[in-house]
Amino acid sequence: MNNLSLKIIKLLTKKKYTVSFAESCTGGLLASTITSISGSSKVFNLGLVTYSNNTKVKVLKVPKRTITKYGAVSYETCLSMVKNLSRISKSNISISITGVAGPNGGTKEKPVGLVYIGLKKGDKTIIRKNLFKNKRRISIQKATVKEALKMILNTI
């Protein structure tokens, strides 16, 4: 992932873009992956770990009714997270992540490995639903970060 991160940082720097993240199930791994690269301070603006529903509501201003109706792991919550992060951070690219990293906590409707990744750049917003099959927590987290990095790369 370091090569991918380095490539992203170089491209973001070249375009004078900034990036911000709101992570839940990855617990800051995406931010850590980017900030482990020298030069990331030029492009990395904000990283929030909004792990609890309360924090999603209080910090990211996700409507409580959205979480109540659809759940924290949903298209709707991910969309609200990325839109509000973009407004708060004023970054060129914003990423939100919410999912079930396991090994517990999954249901039939929302199994372990279900992760939504949101990306907002200008007027363009993408919410991608992923179902990572490896049931190991760290594997799901790493796969999520890799997917988010690919989404950023395809958007720059």
Q: What is the pLDDT of residues 50-75, one digit of tens each?
A: 999 999 999 999 999 999 999 999 99
Paired tokens of 52: 């609890």
Going along the chain from its start, the domains and CATH numbers come out as 2-8+19-37+45-155 (3.90.950.20)
Strands (E), the chain: 19-23, 44-49, 93-99, 114-121, 124-131
Say how far apart CA 40 and CA 43 lie, in whole Å: 5
CB 99 within 8 A of CB 25: yes
Phi, psi of 129 (to 5 degrees): -90, 130
> Among residues 123, 116, 113, which one has the least CA distance to residue 95?
116
Paired tokens of 74: 């949903």
pLDDT, residue 135, reads 76
CB 89 within 8 A of CB 46: yes
Give the other-Cβ count within 10 Å of 18's Cβ: 17
Chain mean position to CA 99: 10
Q: What is the pLDDT of residues 21-59, one digit of tens each?
A: 999 999 999 999 999 999 999 999 999 999 999 999 999
Residue 96: strand, helix, or coil: strand
What is the arithmetic mean of pLDDT over 87-111? 95
Furthest-apart CA pair in the chain: how many Å? 44
